[in-house]
Structure formats: C-alpha cells, structure tokens
Amino acid sequence: MDRGKQTNKRRRKSDVYVPLILLAPALLLVVGVIIYPICHAVGLSFQYYKLTDFANRQFIGFQNYIDIWKNEAFIASLGNTVKWVVITVALQFLLGLGLAMILNIPFRGRGVIRSITLMPWVTPGVVIALMWVWIYNGNFGILNHCLISLGIIHQGVPWLGSGKTALYCQIVTMIWQGLPFFAIMILAALQIIPSDLYEAAEISGAGSWQKFIYITLPQIMPTIVTTCMLRIIWVFNNVEVLYLMTGGGPGHSSMTVSLIAYIRAQKSLDFGQGSTIAIYGTLFMILFMAVYLKLTRKGEFE
C-alpha cells in the first residue's frame, strides 16, 4: 500500500517536472529573445540614458513619458502614422485584390506575370527607397520628366522636398512594395474556393458581381483579415523607406512613431526617450493586435 502511494507521488512529481524540462529550451528562447528585450526597453524608458552622457545615466521615473508629449515631432508623428498606415494598407489591399483577381484568370504567360509581380516584394527596402528617391528627384527624376512630356506640369516638382507631397509620395512607394504580398496571399485564397459554389450560383442565375459579393469575398475574408493585420504591423514598424527617402522631413511632415523612435535611439543616441517612444508605439500596436485576434478568431468560427 505504502509502495503504491510512493509510486503515485513519484508519478505526480514527474508529471510536473518532465513537461517543464521539455519546455525549458523553448521558454528560455522566448525569455531571451522576446521577454528580456521588452523588459530592458521598459527599464530604459524610465531612465535618463544618453550614450553621449553615459556617466550621468539615472532613474527618472515617468519623466520621459511626460516630456515626449512636449516634443513637436512626436505629436506630428501620431497623425502621420495614422495616415501612413491606413492609406498604405487600404490601397495595398484594394489594388492587391484587383491584381489577384486578374492573376486568377487563366491566360497565357500567367506564371511569368506572377513571378514579375513578386519583384517589388523581394527587393530590399534600402534599394527600393534609393530607387524611388531618384524617381521623385526634383531635377532629374523620371516622374517629372514624364509629367512635363505629357504637359501635365511645366516645371519640375520637388516631390520629396515639399511638406504637402513628401508623405504621400512615400506612401506610393510603400504601396508598390507591399502590393505583391496582398496579391499572392489573396490569390492563394482564391484558388482554394470550391468551383461547385460558382456552378451552383450560376444555376441560380447569379451575376458576376453577386458571385463576388456572396461567394468570393466571404471565402477569402479570413485571408484578408489576417493579411491586413500583418501589413498594419509591418507598415507601422517600417523605418527604412521613410528614413532613407526623407528622414521624416521636410520638417516633421513624414515623421512616424517608429521612425522617431529609431532616430531618437540610434541617431541621437538617447535610448531613454527612444525606448519611451517605442513603448508608446507598442501600446498602440497592442490595440491593433486586440482587433486582430478578435477578427481572426471570428473568422475561424465562421
């Protein structure tokens, strides 16, 4: 009887420890790669931590969180970030959907066109930024050349040098880069829609628009939700295109939250305030993530 109890005790112990031991490598990885950097960033955000004044680093509580609201560039970056993310993702989605619908139609050379379509997505962001800087160049840019040749404008426009156009020009660049991702994701979803749904709709007398609204769109909706949310996160976090094309300028006209966090930490070497901005950015993204999880779960149930 006692031996039986001891064996049960041992089993219970092993039931607790074995899973923990087996999970330990993965947990350590998560702690090292995700938890520690986040905790470190939170710790930095409560400090005066400038590498250029390293000897005077100190704990300052919430001072960084308060001071950053006095920074005009940060205030401007909030509105710019909303424009940057919403316009970019919305247009990427609409154009990507259109492109996917076209690529879903069988035609000769479709494989080649699909491969070409992917090119902007596989091109490094640095190359894209530098390429578009010269496209938009006020003196030698091909965009001005084309518009002047067509008689639309008479003098070169400094597209990136004007506060009115700089952000929107970079949005166009970003749309061009992210369009293929939407197109490929939606195309993959389109190709797994059972054809008998369309056949049944045709027998019932449904037109193209009705088939699109009542069959295609509901079928690809989970993919759209997932892709949109992923792109929102990626576009929000994008720094390279904005930094290389205008550095957030002119003035604050194309400054975003991620960009100002990067500049403050990596260029101004103020890791305290840089981390604070990054924490604010993370809080904004948590809101997005809440919506993301809610919508994707809803999609699963449907």
Partner 1 sequence: MKKKRLGKALAALGLCVSMAGTLAGCGKNAAPQNPSAGSDTPAESSSPQEDKEETVEITYWYWEDEQGTIENMLKDKWEAYAGDRIKVKFESIPSSSFHDKLITAVSTGTGPDVFICKPMWAPELHGMGGLANMGQVFDGWEYAEEVDDFMLNQMLCGLDDLYLYPRTTIVMYLYCRKSMFEKAGIAYPATVQEFFDACEKLTADTDGDGKVDQYGFGMRGGSGGHYMWSSFVFSGVKDMDYYDADGNAALMNEKIAEMNQKFIDLYHNGYVPPSASTDGFSEVLTNFKSGVTAMLYHHIASINTIRETFGDDFDVIPVPTGESGQAFGCQEMTGWAINPNSKNIEAAEEFVKWAASPEIHDVRCEKLQQVPFMSSVQTMDKYQNDPAYKVSMDNLLSAHTLPVGPELTTYTEEVWAQSFQRALMGEINSMEMLEQLDQCLNGE
φ, ψ for residue 6 (rounded to 5)? -60, -45
Q: Name which position in 178, 180, 248, 272 contacts partner 1 (CB under 8 A).
A: 248
Nearest alpha-carbon partner for 180 in 123, 263, 218: 123
Which lies closer to partner 1 via its Cβ, residue 159 or residue 181? 159
Tokens representing 7? 């064996």
Q: Residues of 1-30 as b/e, b for ≥16 C-beta within 10 angstroms?
A: eeeeeeeeeeeeeeeeeeeeeeeeeeeeee
Interatomic CA distance for residues 232 and 215, integer angstroms: 26
Closest approach, Cβ 88 to partner 1, in A, equals 20
Determine the number of helices (DSSP H) and then strands (DSSP E) in the chain. Answer: 15, 2
| Residue span binding partner 1 (CB under 8 A) among the ranges 52-60, 101-109, 208-216, 225-233 | 52-60
What is the pattern of x (binds partner 1, CB under 8 A) and - over residues 125-154? ------------xxxx-------------x
Q: Name which position in 160, 185, 241, 261 contacts partner 1 (CB under 8 A).
A: 160
Closest approach, Cβ 193 to partner 1, in A, equals 46
What is the pattern of x (binds partner 1, CB under 8 A) and - over residues 177-206? ------------------------------
| Residue span binding partner 1 (CB under 8 A) among the ranges 47-55, 95-103, 115-123, 211-219 | 47-55
* Residue 74 CB-density burial (10 A; 0-12 exposed, 13-18 middle, 19+ buried): buried
- Contacting residues toward partner 1, per CB under 8 A: 50-56, 73, 137-140, 154-158, 160-163, 166, 246-253, 263-264, 266-270
